[in-house]
Structure 1
Amino acid sequence: MTSRQALLDTLSQVGRALSNGHRLALLERLAQGKAPVETLVESTGLTVGNASQHLQQLRRAGLVTAERSGKQMIYRLTDERIVTLMDLMRQVAETNLAEMERLVGRLFDEGDSEGALESVSRDELRSALKAGSVALLDVRPEDEFEAGHLPDAINIPLDRLESWLDRVPKDKDIVAYCRGPYCVMSHEAAQRLRKLGYRVRRFEEGVPEWKAAGLPVVEAEA
């Protein structure tokens, strides 16, 4: 007969898989869309060996799955609710761990001593989009944009921002977004554009959180 403790011990496998920052980084990237190991290595800074070990831990916990495509293994999240789980972890940590508040402050206050780059909440962004008063700027790499993006967003990867300025609207306020709450690409894009005279803020979440809230996302055809 299965014991309650056996069930809890099995459940704890998920917690153990989430107990490593590198694995959370891998999940954050996979929340943008499926990817091979090589892409995950590039986005997380891990070695191929380390990334593969962490991915195996995530597979054993049922958080990611993989399929072979030619010589590559393509990884993806097994369940979109994983995004909600990670968001709940973030909220609990930010509410109850003083260190989280300090680190988040340091992450986004750099180069913004006057607090000019305040973030835009989900509700604020929805209202602004409905009113047609803002333009969306997706600063993630092109493959992530193609996997899924907010409707009517313009994709300008951060490393091409200055060379593609002709794509940035000058007659609207701009909201830049990237991978999620701790992604600094949108923050850096906002800083650069502000210095060039654009009216720009950053979205405090990302595509995965927007989609998890039941809001529309333009996704690549299967």
Structure 2
Amino acid sequence: MLEDRPFKSAVYEQWARLGQALAHPRRVELLDLLCQGPMTVETLARRAELSVGSTSQHLARLRAARLVETERAGTHVRYRLAEPGMLNLLLSLRDLARRRYAEVDAAVAAFLDGRPVGEPVDPAGLEARLAAGDAILIDVRPADEYAAGHLPGAWSVPLEQLHQAIARLPRDRTVVAYCRGPYCVLAVHAEEALRQAGFRAARLSVGPADFRRTGQPLETAPREEA
């Protein structure tokens, strides 16, 4: 009925605000980074390979849409996801994009083409290997992301420190690396480096955010090195 139209338009306009805020790949990338934990604008800019100014503009748009919030940590201001539902929304969008757009898998295949890596290990496969004592798990994200939440039993080996840590890694077990999720390249580079150094190596198919979504516990602790 015509008298209902203003009400419906008002509601759907608010739904559309979400889509408008997400309608830029860089903003989606920033939100994906924030799934790892709170970060300053400088940290986000560095990890997304953006200028601080551009990052600030994207964050302002996300904050205006109430998708991110800020918190003080000493003299620093950190951004965080506005609520746990944001993580579920982002992972659902990620999974939907893969199901609906063949271009996602094509981009992955093109990136991996010619690289000395194998198929990723899923969580069930990882659990079986760990239970059998046939693997160790390393987190190759930056140390602050590890401290914000990591898989139980994982060692912190940031990718840029992997070569120094290689001498301390056991060679009688498969080294399974993980990072932020299926489209994070850090674990791919770690697997490459480990295989080239003569290790049995693999990478996990998911990241800590996937464990959070399913209610599986993460550990939070100061940095632990291999």
TM-score w.r.t. length of structure 1? 0.90
* Partner of residue 35, structure 1: 39
Aligned match of 1:49 in 48, 53, 59? Answer: 53
The question of 1:11 aligning with 2:12 is answered no
Change (3 A) 1:86 1:110: farther
Change (3 A) 1:52 1:206: same
Aligned length: 218
Cα deviations across residues 182-222 of structure 1 (Å, max 9, x unaligned)? 1011011001101112111111111111221111200249x
Aligned match of 2:28 in 24, 30, 35? Answer: 24
Structure 2: how far apart are the matches of 1:110 and 1:73? 42
Structure 1: state its 5+ residue gaps. Answer: none
Change (3 A) 1:124 1:81: farther
Which structure shows the bigger proportion of residues in strand conformation? Answer: 1
The amino acid of 2:44's aligned partner reads: L
Q: Give, in angstroms, the shift of residue 127 of structure 1.
A: 3.2
List structure 1 runs of 4+ shifted beyond 4 angstroms.
Answer: none
Larger Rg: 2
Q: Give, in angstroms, the shift of residue 109 of structure 1.
A: 2.8
The question of 1:67 aligning with 2:68 is answered no
C-alpha root-mean-square deviation of aligned residues, in Å?
Answer: 1.9
SS of residue paired to 1:218: coil
Structure 2: how far apart are the matches of 1:90 and 1:19? 14
- Aligned pairs for 1:1-222 within 5 A: 3-112=7-116, 116-220=117-221
Structure 2: state its 5+ residue gaps. Answer: none
Structure 2: how far apart are the matches of 1:80 and 1:174? 31
The amino acid of 1:100's aligned partner reads: V
Structure 1: how far apart are the matches of 2:114 and 2:189? 10
Structure 2: how far apart are the matches of 1:53 and 1:104? 29
The amino acid of 2:203's aligned partner reads: R
Give yes or no for contact 1:176–1:186 (8 Å, CA) kept in 2: yes
